[in-house]
Structure formats: structure tokens, C-alpha cells
Structure 1
Amino acid sequence: MEGSGGGCGERECKNHSHGPLGLHGHSWSKMYEEKDLPEEQDVLPFVGGYSNFDIVKATQYGLLDRCQELVEAGYDVRQPDKENVTLLHWAAINNRLDLVKFFISKGAVVDQLGGDLNSTPLHWAVRQGHLSMVILLLKCGADPTLIDGEGYSSLHLAVLFQHMPVIAYLISKGQSVDSADRNGQTPLMLSAHKVIGMEPTRFLLKFNPSIKVVDDIEKNTALHWAVIAGNISAVDVLLEAGSSLDIKNIKGDRPLDLAHQTKNRLLTHLLSEEEKIRARKTSRFLRILEKNEFLLLLVSSLTLIWAIGYVADLNSDSWLLKGSLLVFIFVILSLFARQFVGFNKLKYFPVAFMLGSVFWISWTCFIRFLPDFSGTVSQLPFFLGMVGLFYYFYKTVRTDPGFIKTTEEENKKNIIDLGESGCLDFRTFCTSCLVKKPLRSMHCHTCNSCVARYDQHCIWIGRCIGVGNHSYFVLFLFFLTMVNIWAIYGTILYWSEHCTTTYREDGAWISFTQIVSCSPWVLYIFTLIFFHTSWATLLLILQLYQISFLGLTSHERITLWSKRSKHPVSLRKTPYNHGCLQNLADFFTCRCFGMFKPNIIDWTKQYTLTFHTVKDVHPV
């Protein structure tokens, strides 16, 4: 905490991270032991003011005036205390920025080694995660590559203590992500070995470290160290990044060999499966299949949907036979998908199912329903709907939804700017993409990218919906709903023309059985139509309501709605709501023959709420 800490005593400060700290660390796992005062002395210094503070305590509490008084009286700021700790160390660990500037102006050595760990003030600041102090010390000439008594540089310490902003800032300022500690371990190796979990291993991989480099002693890669530590999350992340399974350490062991030695069954299975997957990629035939996995998934969906309808349409009255055939079909297609479709492509199954359903719905409409419509006018909605449906589906899928794209140099510049302005936190900075997040943007974990004016990741499209393709998505929903409603009408007309029912004499159940026996395929297709009509219509209504009446995206509406339980939030009173007609004009960028003047905003670069100015709003 910056500034004076004069309001809290030593006991209170030991229970709060912002209070004065004393450092006598002896190992990385037990870094801090705070100075204890006798209980009866906790409040005595405050009774008589601060005039009885020595310079060390005044530094810990951030008392600039008292420190200036003592230095002017002749105290040498370079003089260490009895624990070989300088004033600059105490100021750094307690994040006293003004005092650091003052001591350095009076001749304090910025890279002075001190304490049991023989660390510099920068090491102390990094351990505590004081980014503002790290920035100041670096500006004053601190060397982040210096090794402390345990053999760690500043970057290694930031990794050990999982201070992501500090890691990002140090690398952006030029410290190599592959810098080695005393044992030749890189930060990636240290993270995989010492920090159990996915972070900061995944975070470090964003800076493109070498995953093949080995340490100086054991000759282990980061994957070796993760296996030794039993760090399953880190192993998974490293395998996803393409870490080699064939590199041997000084004992001739590969990562899989180490997994067998540690008798970790989960790691052994994970590495063995990865080895099989990589072995398959050497086959030309399997590589071709991998490139066409979605096509195989689509063919499987088409086959599954047809097979279910075909079995249901069989003349046989044996439900046992039909059930057995369906189970057989499911098993065969499941084995096929498991063998030839990768797990990462299975997330596109809803897309394949939707496209397969639309194909068989349209085929049924064309073959069975269209002949019952006498005039061209009554058939026109079907053809227009199908053209619009496939066109806007293609546009939604192929159009960039608004991915935030920056170069590596721009990322580092943004990190430095955000850090030095005190804004390097998760609200303004995406640790996955390493980008400064614009307003209304959101990181999509499925697409692994930040999307401008993020609405949702639609499972029926298999794509993020953002500023670039949101309007296409709404039009896709409109035409899908149009086709489905026409198909529902076509189904009812088909039943009335081709199926004999005795509803008035025998009731609804008998009429239903008569419809089933008349054409099980049509009833099956009607079920698919009803299902897709339900979600498409509901989603279309929600989208139009959000766009026209709220001016919000789905993500924003859900976020604001969830906050209403704690704070009264009006969904209509937001900076993005300009009125119903203006909202629609802005969304579809429509002038309506000059009646409206839509606001065109580049949401990929909009970081403040000043977008109503002439500079940011441009008419079409």
C-alpha cells in the first residue's frame, strides 16, 4: 500500500497484506517472518506520536517526514541493520514508493544484497507482488536478472508466487522467458515442478517459451519436471502446447518412463494416449481424415437422423426389433465417431445435428409438402427461407466475429502501459490473449480468443457471436424460424390431406395413433421441426428484445441481471441504449432512407465510454 500506514499497529499489520512487513525468509516455501513486538508495546508508539520511531520502523510504516528528519540528522541510507537489511529493502517489501524515491536520491544502492536470502529490494518486491514497486525499481536501474541466495531471478520468484501481472511486466520489459536460474531451470520448468496447477504454466506459454530446452543438471524438460511433480494440469497444458515425448534426460528417461516410475496411473494414461494420437498423425490416410473431421461428423449426423426415421417408418409392428436396430445404429456410429473424429471436434456435434436436421426437413418439405401447396405464392416462403437460411449461416460462420488481434510487440507495449498506469488487472487485461480488453469484450474459452462486443458462443453455429457477425446471426435465426413455421404448416396440411383421423368419434389418442401409423417419418420430422422452432424462435425473440429495447448483448444482459440481487440495476438505463429505433439502426447500420444516422463504432479498439463524441461516432 502506498503512503503512510500510521493507523495500524504491528499486530494488526500482521493480519493484513498492506501493513509493514519484516523479512527473514529461509526458504521459498516459508519466505516471511514478521517482526514481533511485545503485546504491551503494540500501541505505545502511537500514544506519543512517531517521534520515537527509529528509521527502520518509520520506513516500514511509510513515515516520509520522520525518515527525512533522521536522514538529515546524519543517518546513512546505505547502512544495513543488524540483519544486514537496508532501508531500501524495508521500503520495497512494504510498497513505500515515496520512500524508495527518497532513499535512492540520497544514495541508496538499488541492487544492494541483504537478508538471509541475500536478495535485492527488487526480489523482495516481487515476492510480495508489488507491481508498482517493481516498476519503480526497474526505472531506477534495478537488475531483474540478478540471482538471490536461493538461485532465483526476479522472474523465477514471480512464477513461484504466481504474480501474473509481475510476470507479464518483467517479460515485456525484456527479461527472457527462457532465462535460467542457478540450476539451469527456466521459469516454465519451475512452474511445472513447483507450482501445482494449470497456472502460471499456461500463462507462461503465451510468451512462446522453449518447450524443448533442458536444465543444466538433470537434463529434464518442463514436461519431465511436471511428471516428476505429479502436476497433471501442467502436463495437460504442456502436451497441448506440443511438448516432445521423446526427449530423454541424463538418465535416459522419457516423460512416459518417469510416469511409470512414479506409478501415477493417470499421468501414464495421459501420456500413453498422447503418444498414440501423435503416432496416428504419421499416417497419410489418418491425416486426411483429421482434416475432414467435421465432414465426417456431418455425415454421421445425417446418417443418424435418417436411420432413426427409417427405423421408425418400418412396417414392422415389433417395437423390440425397432429398438434393437436403433441401439445397433447408435453403437456403430459411436464407434465410428470415436475412431475417426477427434475429441476436440465433438463440440461441433450440435452444428452437425442442426445442419443434418435442416437437410432432412427441407428434403421432406420438397418431396412431401410442396405438392400440397397449389400456388407459387404459398411455396415462395419455403424457397426464400432456405436461401436466406444457408446464406446467413455461411456469413455467420465465415465472418470474423471481432477477434481482438494484436502483434507480440503491441501486447508487450500494452502490458507496460497498463502496468505503469496501475491498470494491469483482470478487468482491463486478458491473461489468456495478453491483450488490453476493449469495452464490451469478453474472452471466449471455447474459441480461446477475446471477442469485441461479445454476445455468446452459439453451439448451433459453433462460432462466437460478436460485433462482426451478430447481425448475420439474427438474420439466420429469422430465416430458420421462417422455414420451420412454414414446415409446421406444411406438416399439418399433409396430415389433413393424406391421413384419415377420427378425432371427433375416438378422441385425441386414437387420432395420434392414426397419424403415427399413417406416416411415422413425417411425425419424426415434425418432432425435429418443433424442436428447432422452439429454440430458434425463443433465441430470436430474446435477441430482438435485447437489441431494440435494451441495446445490450446476451452476455451483458445476463451479467446485469445477476447483479440485480445485490444492487438495483436497470437494464434499460445503460450507456448503450439510445432508444428502440436508434438501437436497431445502430445494430444493422441502416439509414432507412436517411431517417436515421447510425453510430459506427470500432468496438475492437473502444476502451472508454467517450464513444458518443464526434471523433468516435461516424455516420455511414
Structure 2
Amino acid sequence: MVKIESFTSLKGGSMPDNSDNDCSVPQIGEYSNKYMEEYASACSSGNLPAVQQLIEGGKINIKEDYDEKNHITGLHWAASNNKLLVVDYLIRKGADVNIKDHNTGSTPIQWAARYGYVYIVAFLSKNGAKLDACDFNGSNLLHTAVISSNVMMVLYVLFFIVDKNHIKVDAQDSNGRTALYWAVTQGDSWTVEALIKYGASLSLPDNSGVNPLCVAIAKGYKKISSYILQHYDDYEFETEAYDSCLATAQRMRATDIFYSILSNNNYTTKGQRKKPISISVRRREFSIILCTYIMIWSSTYIFLQCTLFIGLLLSSMIAIFTVFFIQKTLIITSTSEASGRRCKSLVLSPFSLATFSSVLIAILTVGAAEMRDIWRPSLYYTITYLLGTLFVTYLLHYVYTSDPGNIPPEFSHDKIRQDMEDLLSLNNFDVSGFCLTTWVRRPFKSHISPLQKKRVAGFDHYCMWLYNDIALKNRKAFFYLLLALQILLYFHIFLCVSYFKSIQTAAWNSASILPFEALKQVLAENKKVLLSLIVATFQLLIVTNSFVCQLLTVLQGLTIQEAKMIKNFLYQETTDYQRYREYFNLRTESLIIYNTVNNLASATKIRPLKVIKLRERLPNKNARRRFLSLYNILNMCGWSTLVIPKRNKDKMNLLANEDIINPIYYGWKRNLADFFLTSDENSSLLCRLLHFNTTSKALLNGKETDFFTLYSLPSTRNHVSSATRLV
């Protein structure tokens, strides 16, 4: 069983021992009766025929199916080994679901909870198990669930047992320790967050006066300590918790850790909250953008006014100083200030957005000022330049300010409980089906945003150049932005080349010098245009690469996140297939499905997903090396989705697979229609092409789908034919 590490392992001092929670159990071999030994072994291994034979043959009395010494029943063994079919059979035969063993005083449901077996606990709770039972140490079902270190087990107990007032979230065992205390002791940050979010008390001490924050500091858990401090009331911490935490830190010789945690959470060494910085996150963002603009424009001006070496040196110094200033003054380093998860690093700040936009503005300014003699005489050039600039500006602002598709967190306990029930009935109550951050059932094609730490529907990727997530509601706008940027940058490059050609020809004719020498003279005299040409060409390469990546994934009906997952699943030599199977809900083994309606357990066999490794498909070492070289080149450009097969019969399929590798490929024409058309069928085709998604609904396989509740994917085996009309 799980054993909790004692505080005595820390340097100096001593803390209350937790040996009382040692839940070691006797071995099966200790039974004196051979039938009891066979029975216990059969219950532990899930050998239902053997259990039936022993009980129905009269060798085991279901009312006394335990050894007199330990009082451990067959139901204990089956529950602690996750054998649901045996548990169901024993209960139907009349086994006592509330009998306690003589070692720890735990009932079968507590044994199951201690191991984190959610389905066993759910089944027993619906079949007469006493939910407020305590063992000899006073530990209830919530305590034992926390000791399992399975946050899904803890969430089930919170919403199905604590929420219905069977036990209290702050219930204390015989040593005065709460469930939060034990979660902190184990360093289980997910369970700590779940308990605090549910409403567990932070300040309840045990019988020796130690509270959960003291435990976190003594154990050196900085993340957990910071999370607890964020939810502490300032007055309560200063008047009550600070002295006990300091005393604990001194006894554990961990005062340096304690002061470091206080400093990171904006507290003084006296436990007083520092005066909050008046600047808000929005002001930080504006300040970062302003500083970046000043850096780009000043360094560019200095570079153009000086020689190449001096200009590079001074521009680099300005850039280094600006980045250092932003990191030290505008980037949030205090954990308590970073609750919004924004401006925590240069990548998660508008620094890249400001760099990209300022360079783009510089390019357009040079084009408008220096090359006006090229584009102004032509009405076509003028309209193209002005409309392109306006369209790019609008799309850039739209993508930056738009909601990408954030799924709101759930606060209704009834709705959370219903989602859990649904997931339990589907055998999918785990982190792949339930979001621990927002407490909602995880829809397909959703992901946690690295910027906002929220679940985003249709998540594609986080774009640091636009300082926003690209997802359901703004991905089409992002695609149009890439297309418009390519046209505008290509047009600017065309103007620069035309400008240099006209000046070169004039210089050549007037000075009677060679064309190459005339070109050198022109370039030296027009450094602004030359620099804008170089930067525009570089930006065009980056934008084109992103555009090709987006186009490839759109054609396959994927997001960048999904394409990476499938790519890793297919071509990496050492790949964990579990993430791929969970994401697309592909089961690869026989499952025990718990039916919450009629309390029956049934075994459903699902054909395993068979994958032949690349080594077996391409046995020739040189051929495999050539393929991997091509794949690595495409991967560096982000085009590796070119070699993602759709089915096992595709020509590009280099791996044999009995199932669909891309479960959301509905044909490239259908995928294009799903991406570019909104779900409003009453609008015209042009409006559906130009409008962006503002709701959670979009097309998937030609049907309007709510991506906030996308819990099942349409089948790809009967997808709409490519010859079928799109609208």
C-alpha cells in the first residue's frame, strides 16, 4: 500500500509521524485454511469462475469469508485489486459491504479508495456502502482517497460524497489532520488545488499545531506553498499563520526556503503583504509594446546613420538594454501577481507582437515614403497598397484582441456531477476526459492554453507574434492574415526591385559605368530601401512557411496540435501511444465498463490498434535513412504533415495500421468547406466565407457542431464524398 514519508527525514527537528496511516496488509499465504487462501487469491486476481465454484460449492460461506485473525474478506481483496466483476458477484451473493478488517478498521470501499479505484468506489457507494465510515485512525473516505494520490478519486469523493453531506471536506482524523494536510504532505499539487478550489480550510492545524502551509514549507514544496499563500487572507496569515510557519521553518532549518517563498509571493520577511504594484496587466502590456517600438525604431535609425559595424554594435546594445529593462520591471515575477498567467516571460508577453508589428510598420513606411514615385502614378498600385495595408491592420488587430474560443469554467456542482456520471458510464473518467483546470468534460479538439491557462476549443497553437491563441474563433482570421501578409510583402518586394531597377538604369545611363557598379552605388545611397527589402524578404519566408503549415493541416482537418500528436505517434521510434489513443478515444485493450443506470458490469472487447514500426515497413537501412532525412527536413519547415497518412490503404501510408490513423479526415474538399464556411446556412456563400466564428458552433463533416460540447467525433468511414456539393 501507499506509505507517506515521515517528516523526520528532514534535517533537524521532528514533526508528527504518520506511521498510523501505514496501510500494509497481510499476505494471502498467511491463511491457515487452504480454501480461504484459494478464495482470497481468486478474489485478488479476478478469477470469477473460481470464486463462484468455492461459494456455490459450499466451501466458503459468504457471510464468514474471512480469516479470524485479520478479518479481511473477499470483498476487501477484490475491491483493493480493482476486480469489478468479482465485487458485483460477491454483493449479489450477500457479502457485507461495510465489514471492517482488524488491521486498520477499513471497509472495502476505503480499501478501494486508498488505491484510487474510482469505479469500485462508485459501484460500492451505490450498493449500500457506508460513506461516513472511519478507520481506527479516524480517517474517512476523503482521507484515504487523498492518500491514493489519484486526483480523480479525490474529485469523485468531493462531488458525490462530500457534496451530499456524508462527510465534511475539513474533517480531521484522530491526529487532527485534514485531507488537505495529507495532500500537502504527499506533495500532490493537483489534489491540493482541487481541495482548495472546492473550499477546504487552509488554517486548520493538527493536534500539534501544524497547519498545511507549515507542512509545505517544511517539505520544501515551493509551488504548493505559493498556491496556498495566494488563497490566504492577508490578515489571517499575518496574525495567525505566520508565527507557526516561521517556528516550523526554524525547527526544520528551512528559514531560507520560507523567506524565499514569502518574497516570491509579495510578502515581507515579517509576514506583511507588500504594497501592491499599481501597474495593471494591461498597462504592462502597453508599456512592453511602447518600449519595444522605441527599441526597434531607435536601433533602426542608428543603424542607418552609422557604418555597418558601429550600427550593429549600437543597435545590439539598445536591444539588450531594452530586453533587460522589460524583464526586470515589466515581466511579472511575483506568483501572486501572475494569477492571469500573462506577462510571465518574453514569450508570454506582447514583446514579439510589438517586434513584428513595428517592423511591419517600418517596412510600410519606407514603401510609402521612399518609393512613392513608383506606386503613386499607377492607380492599381495605389489601391493595392492602401487596401492591403488596411486589411492587414484590421486582421492583425482582430486576431490580437479576439476570444480564441475559451471554454468557461464550470461552477455548478450539479453540472460537474452529471459530467462525471457520463464519463463514468463511458469508462472515460480520467484526465483525458475531465479537465482538472476548468472542471468541465473535455471536448475533442480542445487544449489548455499556455498563455491564459484556460481550456480553448479548437486549439491550434499559441502564436507569440500575435500574443494570442489561435483556435476555433480566430483561426480563419489568422489564415486570411497570413494570406494578406504574403500579398502585401510580395508587393513591397516587387516595388523595391522596381525602384532599384529604375535608379540603377538612370545611374548607369548618366555615369556611363558598368551595371554592377551602378547597382552598388544605388544600394549605398538607399540603405532604407535595401534594409526594408531584406527584412520584408525574411518576413515573407516566415509567413509563407506558416501559411503552408496551416493549409496542410486544414486540408487534413487537423490543428497544429493534432498534427504534432499524430506525427509523433507515427514516426518516433520510442513513442508513448497512450496520449494519442486517449485524445482520439481509441481503446486498445479489453475494457470493464461500469453502467451507472442498472449497476451492472460488462466486459466489452475492442479490437486493438496494431502499428507496424517504420523499421519493419522499411527493412532496408538506407531506404529508412533516406526517408527519415526527408522527414526531418520537412519537420524543420513544419511541413511534416505531408507524410501523415489517412488510412491504411493510402499510397503515402508507410506504416500498416488496421484502424484510421487520422480519425478526423473527412476528405480534403469537406475539410476546406468546414474551415472556411460558417455554420449559418441562412447566409449567402460570400458572407459565410468572409465572416468569422463568434460562437462555439462551427462545421464538422458538413454539420453544425458545438465545439464546447464536442464529446464524440463523426465517423470518417462514411464521410461525404469529394464529389458531393459543399453547400
- What TM-score do the two structures reach when normalised by structure 2? 0.69
- Against the structure 1 CA distance between its residues 280 and 249, is the aligned structure 2 distance closer, same or farther, given a 3 Å change threshold? closer
- How many residue pairs match? The answer is 577
**Secondary structure in 1 aligned to 2:482?**
helix
1:353-432 equivalences in 2 (<5 Å): 353-373=355-375, 374-405=377-408, 407-408=410-411, 409=413, 410-432=415-437
Q: 1:352 — aligned with what?
A: 354
- Of 513, 533, 538, the residue aligned with 1:526 is 533
- Of 153, 161, 178, the residue aligned with 2:148 is 161
How far apart are the structure 2 equivalents of 1:306 and 1:337? 20
**Secondary structure in 2 aligned to 1:464?**
strand
Q: Does 1:59 find its partner at 2:43?
A: yes
- Of 183, 199, 209, the residue aligned with 1:191 is 183
- Of 535, 544, 561, the residue aligned with 2:542 is 535
- CA deviations on 1:316-343 (whole Å, 9 max, x unpaired) are 4484586246425632562255223425
User: For residue 69 of structure 2, what is the amino acid of its counterpart?
Assistant: K
- Against the structure 1 CA distance between its residues 400 and 322, is the aligned structure 2 distance closer, same or farther, given a 3 Å change threshold? closer
**Secondary structure in 1 aligned to 2:444?**
coil
- Against the structure 1 CA distance between its residues 387 and 380, is the aligned structure 2 distance closer, same or farther, given a 3 Å change threshold? same
User: For residue 525 of structure 1, what is the amino acid of its counterpart?
Assistant: S
How far apart are the structure 1 equivalents of 2:80 and 2:427? 18
Aligned partners of 1:79 and 1:86 also within 8 Å: yes
**Secondary structure in 2 aligned to 1:600?**
strand
Greater mean alpha carbon deviation, residues 564-573 or residues 128-137? 564-573
- CA deviations on 1:219-268 (whole Å, 9 max, x unpaired) are 55533321121112322443455675961587862646755663364553
Q: Does 1:312 find its partner at 2:303?
A: yes
How far apart are the structure 1 equivalents of 2:489 and 2:235? 51
Aligned partners of 2:78 and 2:84 also within 8 Å: yes
- CA deviations on 1:78-134 (whole Å, 9 max, x unpaired) are 765321323332232233334434444555432222232221211111122222211
Q: 1:229 — aligned with what?
A: 219
1:487-506 equivalences in 2 (<5 Å): 487-497=492-502
- Against the structure 1 CA distance between its residues 280 and 239, is the aligned structure 2 distance closer, same or farther, given a 3 Å change threshold? closer
- Of 706, 718, 722, the residue aligned with 1:602 is 706
User: For residue 535 of structure 2, what is the amino acid of its counterpart?
Assistant: L
Q: 2:162 — aligned with what?
A: 175
- CA deviations on 1:54-99 (whole Å, 9 max, x unpaired) are 5444433443313432568756337653213233322322333344
Q: Does 1:554 find its partner at 2:541?
A: no
Aligned partners of 2:410 and 2:439 also within 8 Å: no
Aligned partners of 1:114 and 1:120 also within 8 Å: yes
How far apart are the structure 1 equivalents of 2:21 and 2:671? 56
**Secondary structure in 2 aligned to 1:133?**
helix
- Of 318, 330, 333, the residue aligned with 1:340 is 330
User: For residue 384 of structure 1, what is the amino acid of its counterpart?
Assistant: L
User: For residue 27 of structure 2, what is the amino acid of its counterpart?
Assistant: E
Q: 2:104 — aligned with what?
A: 117
- Against the structure 1 CA distance between its residues 475 and 281, is the aligned structure 2 distance closer, same or farther, given a 3 Å change threshold? farther
Pairwise CA distance, 1:507: 9.6
How far apart are the structure 2 equivalents of 1:237 and 1:506? 71
Greater mean alpha carbon deviation, residues 474-483 or residues 78-87? 78-87
- CA deviations on 1:176-228 (whole Å, 9 max, x unpaired) are 67332224433233212x213534324444x4334643224355553332112
How far apart are the structure 1 equivalents of 2:523 and 2:328? 34
Q: 2:203 — aligned with what?
A: 213
Aligned partners of 1:71 and 1:77 also within 8 Å: no
Q: 1:587 — aligned with what?
A: 675
Q: 1:475 — aligned with what?
A: 480
Pairwise CA distance, 1:518: 2.2
- Against the structure 1 CA distance between its residues 208 and 376, is the aligned structure 2 distance closer, same or farther, given a 3 Å change threshold? farther
- Against the structure 1 CA distance between its residues 381 and 275, is the aligned structure 2 distance closer, same or farther, given a 3 Å change threshold? same
Q: 2:629 — aligned with what?
A: none
Aligned partners of 1:169 and 1:416 also within 8 Å: no
Q: Does 1:146 find its partner at 2:234?
A: no
- Against the structure 1 CA distance between its residues 210 and 539, is the aligned structure 2 distance closer, same or farther, given a 3 Å change threshold? same
Aligned partners of 1:396 and 1:473 also within 8 Å: yes
User: For residue 24 of structure 2, what is the amino acid of its counterpart?
Assistant: M
How far apart are the structure 1 equivalents of 2:244 and 2:507? 72
- Against the structure 1 CA distance between its residues 200 and 371, is the aligned structure 2 distance closer, same or farther, given a 3 Å change threshold? farther
How much is the aligned-residue C-alpha RMSD, in angstroms? 4.0
How far apart are the structure 1 equivalents of 2:665 and 2:400? 27
- CA deviations on 1:509-531 (whole Å, 9 max, x unpaired) are x8887566424444443343233
**Secondary structure in 2 aligned to 1:275?**
coil
How far apart are the structure 2 equivalents of 1:444 and 1:561? 21
Q: 1:87 — aligned with what?
A: 74
Q: 2:339 — aligned with what?
A: none
Greater mean alpha carbon deviation, residues 167-176 or residues 338-347? 338-347
Q: 1:130 — aligned with what?
A: 117
User: For residue 235 of structure 1, what is the amino acid of its counterpart?
Assistant: S
Greater mean alpha carbon deviation, residues 263-272 or residues 531-540? 263-272
User: For residue 599 of structure 1, what is the amino acid of its counterpart?
Assistant: K
Aligned partners of 2:158 and 2:169 also within 8 Å: no
Pairwise CA distance, 1:300: 1.0
- Against the structure 1 CA distance between its residues 230 and 109, is the aligned structure 2 distance closer, same or farther, given a 3 Å change threshold? same
Q: 2:692 — aligned with what?
A: none
- CA deviations on 1:531-575 (whole Å, 9 max, x unpaired) are 322221111122122213x22222222222222236469534445
- Of 554, 565, 569, the residue aligned with 1:563 is 569
Aligned partners of 1:307 and 1:329 also within 8 Å: no
Aligned partners of 1:26 and 1:116 also within 8 Å: no
Pairwise CA distance, 1:290: 3.9
How far apart are the structure 1 equivalents of 2:40 and 2:326? 72
- Against the structure 1 CA distance between its residues 514 and 158, is the aligned structure 2 distance closer, same or farther, given a 3 Å change threshold? farther
- CA deviations on 1:262-308 (whole Å, 9 max, x unpaired) are 3364553232132259989845xx42454411111110111111011
Unaligned runs of 5+ in 1: 1-24
How far apart are the structure 1 equivalents of 2:358 and 2:706? 36
**Secondary structure in 1 aligned to 2:381?**
helix
Q: 1:9 — aligned with what?
A: none
User: For residue 82 of structure 1, what is the amino acid of its counterpart?
Assistant: K
Aligned partners of 1:589 and 1:599 also within 8 Å: no
How far apart are the structure 2 equivalents of 1:488 and 1:82? 88
How far apart are the structure 1 equivalents of 2:38 and 2:312? 90
User: For residue 165 of structure 1, what is the amino acid of its counterpart?
Assistant: M
Q: 1:464 — aligned with what?
A: 469
Greater mean alpha carbon deviation, residues 553-562 or residues 398-407? 398-407
- CA deviations on 1:582-609 (whole Å, 9 max, x unpaired) are 3222211177589999533222222223
User: For residue 670 of structure 2, what is the amino acid of its counterpart?
Assistant: Q
User: For residue 228 of structure 1, what is the amino acid of its counterpart?
Assistant: A
**Secondary structure in 1 aligned to 2:669?**
helix
Aligned partners of 1:309 and 1:520 also within 8 Å: no
How far apart are the structure 2 equivalents of 1:292 and 1:575? 44
